[in-house]
Amino acid sequence: MAKARRQFVCQSCGAVSAQWSGRCDACGEWNTISEEVAESSGVAGGPSKAAGSKGRQISLVPLAGETKEDPRRTTGMAEFDRVLGGGLVAGSAILVGGDPGIGKSTLLLQATAMLARTGSRAVYISGEEAIQQVRMRAKRLGLADAPVALGTETNLRDILATLQDGAPPHAVVIDSVQTMWTDALESAPGTVSQVRATAQELVRFAKKSGAAIIIVGHVTKDGQIAGPKVVEHMVDTVLYFEGERGHHFRVLRAVKNRFGPANEIGVFEMVEGGLMEVSNPSALFIGERDRETSGTAVFAGIEGTRPVLVEIQALVAQSALGTPRRAVVGWDGGRLSMVLAVLDARCGLTIGGQDVYLNVAGGLRIGEPAADLAVASALISSLSGLPLPADTVIFGEISLSGSIRPVNQMEARLKEAEKLGFTHAIVPKTGGRQKPAAGNLKLTEIEDLGSLIALLSTGQKAKKQAVG
């Protein structure tokens, strides 16, 4: 019998080294390397035959040809189906990550129960909670009568044997992959080897049986799904369940989707009876804003295929420290530093020596550079102490020269703003592009930040004269 080979694996990134060290050379993390038994069977990706054996030939087919597309299976939760691209695809593998206690198990239990009520065969396997705990949650959510097959197990071999017995299910939830283990490896559950091996076997089962596998994954302190990045490459779809604990709504975001658009979001509100879908998130994000406060601007953004309006709040205050503070919630801190540098260098605004606080209201995270112009407007408003017009939306990308660059899907942003009652929009100058259809909105096109400052100053002077 061959002697088991041992290796040292980083539990953060999955890098393998021949000897132990305190710091991983691949990712730079400290005290993450542990000793594990090398993978030696096909279940973990190791060789299953002798190194000199010859493989069998596979059949090659032309690229052109007719392929039957299986219809998607909708869960009944419109926001969940929207993020998936229209519903569950047969044989797909979906990885769902999120902070502890954010509501992943609640969301998937609701989706599984609604799917089962439509006649689909749904299985929920929990490796973290007992059957009684899951039943109590289902009773609290009003889902106790749903025909969901419930099980609690962590041995992957037993789980696959159960799923393969009888008719294959349409959807299977595994909560969570870090608790699963296979006896083909001697390492403990939750290690990189176990997570990779169990995820690979679950994906293989999904492809062979046609069942949609939904895998829950824990996240690290940095907000990334724990385990090697290769796990995200194995699956078809990667979803992140986001939300601030101080806010009552949650955002389900697709960061990878082979069957639909990436960066699509679904919005849910956490209520006493579970997660309730929010069909119009723009009204939620800007519904409680203060219309007469300086330092606020309404940004018209695009999340996936959905236009979303959100309020951006900025506060510029005199710093009492030698090094001014920069606090950012919901936006990229590096992007804020760039906007501040452009305002200082190109517009002569002395913001560099002051504390700057930036917040995206409601807890939504914005990643697109089209928010640059709205952030700059909020900073200018806070610095001058003059509020922006309440009926105005702003979007545009700022270059290092101070010019304003056009952004994509301008018409969708303007339509969403008009639908919510806005009458004015400050947008980049389209140049040679076709001017977007604005409906009844009044468009003000600007070329650079100097034009923005002049426009805001003129508007505030006119408002003061009208009041006087």
Q: Say if residue 465's pLDDT is above 50.
A: no
pTM given for the model = 0.81
Beta strand spans in 84-220 (E): 93-98, 122-126, 149-152, 171-175, 212-217
C-alpha 394/C-alpha 108 separation (Å) is: 36
- Which tens digits make up the pLDDT trace of 137-170? 999 999 999 999 999 999 999 999 999 998 889 9
The neighbour count for residue 373, using CB atoms within 10 Å, is 26
In terms of average pLDDT, the best of 240-254, 368-382, 431-445 is 368-382
C-alpha 390/C-alpha 424 separation (Å) is: 9
Angle among Cα 106, 200, 91 to the nearest 5 degrees reads: 65
Q: Say if residue 42's pLDDT is above 50.
A: no
* Contact (CB, 8 A) for 33 and 69: no
Q: Say if residue 48's pLDDT is above 60.
A: no
Predicted confidence at residue 44, as pLDDT, reads: 44
Give the percent of the chain with pLDDT over 70.
89
CA end-to-end span of the chain, whole Å?
A: 94
Confidence band, pLDDT 50/70/90 cuts, at residue 98: confident
Instruction: Tell how strand 122-126 and strand 171-175 pair up.
Output: parallel
C-alpha 218/C-alpha 181 separation (Å) is: 15
Confidence band, pLDDT 50/70/90 cuts, at residue 357: very high
* Contact (CB, 8 A) for 313 and 361: yes
- Which tens digits make up the pLDDT trace of 207-238? 999 999 999 998 876 666 666 677 888 999 99
The neighbour count for residue 3, using CB atoms within 10 Å, is 5
Predicted confidence at residue 41, as pLDDT, reads: 46
Amino acid, res. 446: I
CB within 8 A of 396, min separation 6: which ones? 370, 372, 373, 374, 404, 405, 406, 407, 426, 427, 428, 446
Mean per-residue pLDDT of the chain? 87
For residue 225, the 8-state DSSP code is B
Give the percent of the chain with pLDDT over 90.
56
Q: Any idea which residue has 């082979």 for tokens?
A: 258
